[in-house]
Structure 1
Amino acid sequence: MSVVITADIIASRELTDRARAQRLIDDAVARVDHDLPGADRVLTPTVGDELQGVYPGLADALAAVTLLRLRLPDEVDLRFGIGVGEIGVIPSAAGDIAEGPGWWAAREAIDTLHAKQVRALPRARTWVVAAEGAGDAASIALANAYAWARDELISAMTERTRRLAYGRCLGATQASLAEQEGITQSAVSQALNSAGAAAVVEGFRVLRMPR
């Protein structure tokens, strides 16, 4: 059983500099892959505004999305569909083609998320779907409940606060973050506390606990 991510750029057609946006995404993905190694296939651009990646488990995928959401600058945002299910490849003269129920589930997750963003959850950026016979329905429901709450917090953060939360997820002290940002430690503490960042940081640590 695999866990895959299909991500797309939100409002990609409205970007004034699509090439710059892609560079920002590539830089963020590379940084997250460096700081959180272990992906079977790190998020990679495919066609148009989409990226695809493969992760060892659901917690790994959710942890990677957490860091990537925190790392992305204000200029660009991504929507993440996480699929749980079997995957494979179809040989082609142009190269192997990713295929299988896990990928179909990730696409369904993207479509479902887009509808939820329009109707009731404009700050949601993540949705999880398990292919038929894959995953436990209760675990998928809990993952989606967590993702909703996490996304609500992250979407309301400033770019600086997201950077601070990213550092805290990786164990950086408030003092070291203050030095990096050129601000006081009390300013770091205030920014994190007012944004509810502690919940995001602790949630990330839970996802990274050994199983």
Structure 2
Amino acid sequence: MTPVSSTRATVLGDLIGSRLSADRRGLHERLTAALTHVNQEIVTDQPLAVIAGDEVQGTYAGVGDALGAVFLLRSLLSPGTDLRFGIGRGDVTVLDAETGIQDGPGWWAARQAIEEVEAGQQVTGQATWRTAYREHEPDHGTEQAVNAALVCQDLVLGSLDQTGWTIVRGMMQERTHASIAEELGISRQAVQQRRKSAGLPMLLASISALRSLP
């Protein structure tokens, strides 16, 4: 049977610093639980899963869904557990339907992207870089525009502490300030001030816009 190819958005993720974890089993359990949640929330061709060691992969029909899955996964695990991501777009060939083995330019693009992130994190001033996007056949500046947005997104996310991430998750769930404040043990006014000073509504607006990409 001839392998079937189609254009897809591909995701490669890699746990950062996992080999230094004192509880690798616990880390794996947190990761797999988060992956299950993401797969339930966002429609996928090939569900995100741990494929080897500390690497995660999955495929999506559109780039927006792939970006949404990446952000949701980060929000579930941060702070404390962090990943870098390469997102690609290009033809993906299913080599074996039973095992789910895939190949093709879409995966090559994702591999290029994650390798760029890994190398770029070592450059002074780029330590919070986590996500890059590459197209096998770049189209009218879309690749550059998406990467510009992702760099800004990573800069903001890299500045968040436990409180900041809790507020972000609460906003994503459309919870009230009072509910978030109760969880954090702070005042509603403190939640409002942190939301404002960190520019969190702008962050979520940017993420929502990226989710709309085809």
Query: If the length of structure 2 is used for normalisation, what is the TM-score?
Result: 0.87
1: distance between equivalents of 2:197 and 2:47? 32
Match 1:77 to one of 78, 82, 92: 82
Q: Which residue of 1 aligns with 2:65?
A: 60
**Could you tell me which residue of structure 2 aligns to residue 100 of structure 1?**
104
Counterpart among 18, 22, 25 of residue 28 in structure 2: 22
What per-residue deviation string (whole Å, max 9, x for no partner) do you get for residues 68-117 of structure 1? Answer: 2222133311000001011122239x834221111111111111111111
The aligned residue for residue 161 of structure 1 is 164
Matches within 5 A, 1:45-194: 45-91=50-96, 95-120=99-124, 121-131=126-136, 133=137, 135-194=138-197
Range with bigger deviation, 102-111 or 201-210? 201-210
How far apart in 2 are the matches of 1:122 and 1:172? 31
Distance 1:155 1:119, change over 3 A: same
Q: Which residue of 2 aligns with 1:197?
A: 200
* Structure 1 gap ranges (5+): none
Structure 1 window deviating more from structure 2 (145-154 vs 161-170): it is 161-170
C-alpha deviation, 1:210, in angstroms: 8.5
Would the aligned equivalents of 2:79 and 2:165 in 1 still touch at CA under 8 Å? no
Count of residue pairs the alignment pairs up: 207
Q: Tell me the distance in 1 between the aligned counterparts of 2:206 and 2:83.
A: 20
Find the aligned partners of 2:143 and 2:181 in 1 and give their Cα distance.
Answer: 37
Deviation at 1:66, TM superposition (A): 1.8
Structure 2 counterpart of 1:72, one-letter code:
L
Q: What is the identity, as a one-letter code, of the residue corresponding to 1:85?
A: G
- Conserved in 1, the CA contact under 8 Å of 2:64 and 2:213? no
How far apart are 1:137 and its partner, in Å? Answer: 4.8
Deviation at 1:149, TM superposition (A): 0.4
Partner residue in 1 for 2:39: 33
Determine the C-alpha separation between the residues in 1 that align with 2:130 and 2:42. Answer: 22
Bigger mean CA offset, 198-207 vs 113-122 = 198-207
Secondary structure, counterpart of 1:118 in structure 2 = coil
Contact 1:69 1:154 in 2 (8 A): no
TM-score when normalising by structure 1: 0.88
